[in-house]
Amino acid sequence: VQLHQSGGGSVSAGGSLRLSCAASGHSFSPYCMGWFRQAAPGKEREGVATRAPDGDIAYADAVKGRFSLSQDNMKNTLYLEMDNLKPEDTGVYYCAAAHGLYDCWSSNLANLARSWGQGTQVTVSS
């Protein structure tokens, strides 16, 4: 599956942004899909949220209550709605996918994903 990201941008603290990850080539339903972010080049990529093939969703503690995943099956697109953004949410965000991965948590997805989006910048100013 190929992943194409859109969305992102710059916002003040407390604002909202939405990221999109459109999958092409295959239906994304049987995939573990998720979002990661990298605060700066050379820093470790951090898991943000994942959605398992059975629909289970998990969020990193840092974003619980502020970020939410949703999907449009007709558009084969995964969305990350980010509310109440904080400066520490700044970074490049990536979506990723791994086929048939039911143990769909970030560490597994990071290691096993064969598809990654191109990355999109999110900047939150204080």
100/6 Cα distance (integer angstroms): 24
> What's the confidence (pLDDT) of residue 40?
92
Taking only the tens of pLDDT, the chain with its 126 residues reads: 999 999 999 999 999 999 999 999 888 889 999 999 999 999 999 999 999 999 999 999 999 999 999 999 999 999 999 999 999 999 999 999 999 999 998 999 999 999 999 999 999 999
Written as one letter, the residue type at 56 is D
**Beta bridge pairs of residue 78:** 21, 71
DSSP codes joined into one string, 32-97: EEEEEEESSTTSPPEEEEEE-TT--EEE-TTTTTTEEEEEETTTTEEEEEE-S--GGG-EEEEEEE
Q: Are 123 and 11 in contact (CB under 8 A)?
A: yes
Compute the Cα dihedral for 108, 109, 110, 112 and give only its sign. Answer: positive
